[in-house]
Amino acid sequence: MDNKAIINYLKEFVSEKRFELFKKIVKERTRYASVLIENVYQSHNASAILRTCEALGFQDVYVFERKNSFSPNEDIALGAEKWLNIYKYSEQKHKFGEVIGLLKQNGYRIIATTLQNSTSLYDFPLEKGKCVFMFGTEISGLTDEAINVADEFIKIPIYGFTDSFNVSVSVGIIMNYIARELRIRNIDYKLSEAEQEEILIKWLVNSIPSGDKILQRFLQVNTK
């Protein structure tokens, strides 16, 4: 089934204004940079991270749970998860190295956010290619396993006595800088037309009451 045909059908269930907004926003979405969250457990941090990534146009968020569950608070996230692709893995079912291996196979550089042996965020070579920025748990940061699989290391310059930021603040500072740099440097950061269409379908389905059932019925009728 052609994605354009699906979009043309589903868009009839939302207002023209809303659909035009979807088309405008999806053009600024990116997978050139993404976020991986390792073992974050406080719901307000989980929620703030999703909200930040969505607002800045980063489509994919990867979550790796160890002992802690990643549980966003809907009142803080403000529905950000509806618009994102969230890939969730747990230590009980997945090996961290395998998750990183899949990302590397897809052409991503793995960037650890850590104070040790790190380059300043403002010197980060963004033009070198796609990247996933890893952020660790609230108290201890990234695990040694995460640091050991990283290709590069960055830190946020600090000018005061405090030697670190809250994890959701770190995501905000780093990803806001990356979003800005993607737009002012000569980097092809936008999604392909096919990727945009897939996301539009996801957004339309999530915006329509019983949208998944409406889509299923349409596919059943039109794929016989």
Question: Over 50: is that where the pLDDT of 77 sits?
Answer: no
User: Do 103 and 132 touch, CB atoms closer than 8 A?
Assistant: yes
Alpha-carbon span 6 to 161, nearest angstrom: 55
The string of pLDDT tens digits covering residues 194-224 is: 999 999 999 999 999 999 999 999 998 887 6
Tell me if residue 141 falls in helix, strand or coil: strand
Percent of the chain topping pLDDT 70: 96
Q: Give pLDDT tens digits for 147-164.
A: 999 999 999 999 999 888
Question: Rounded mean pLDDT of 5-32?
Answer: 96
Mean pLDDT of 49-67: 94
Residue 35 — pLDDT band, cuts 50, 70, 90? very high
Q: Does residue 76 surpass a pLDDT of 70? A: no
Paired tokens of 51: 């909200």
Q: State mean pLDDT over 49-70.
A: 91
Identify the band that residue 59 occupies on the pLDDT scale cut at 50, 70 and 90: very high
DSSP 8-state class, residue 58: B
Structure tokens at 113: 């956010």
Question: Looking at residue 72, what is its pLDDT?
Answer: 66
Please tell me the least confidently modeled range out of 26-40, 70-84, 101-115. Answer: 70-84
- DSSP 3-state of 63: strand
The residue to which tokens 């640091």 are assigned: 147
pLDDT digits (tens, 9 = 90+) for 88-142: 999 889 999 999 999 999 999 999 998 888 999 999 999 999 999 999 887 788 9
Share of the chain above pLDDT 90, in %: 75
Q: Which domains does the chain have, with CATH numbers?
A: 1-29+190-224 (no CATH), 30-189 (3.40.1280.10)
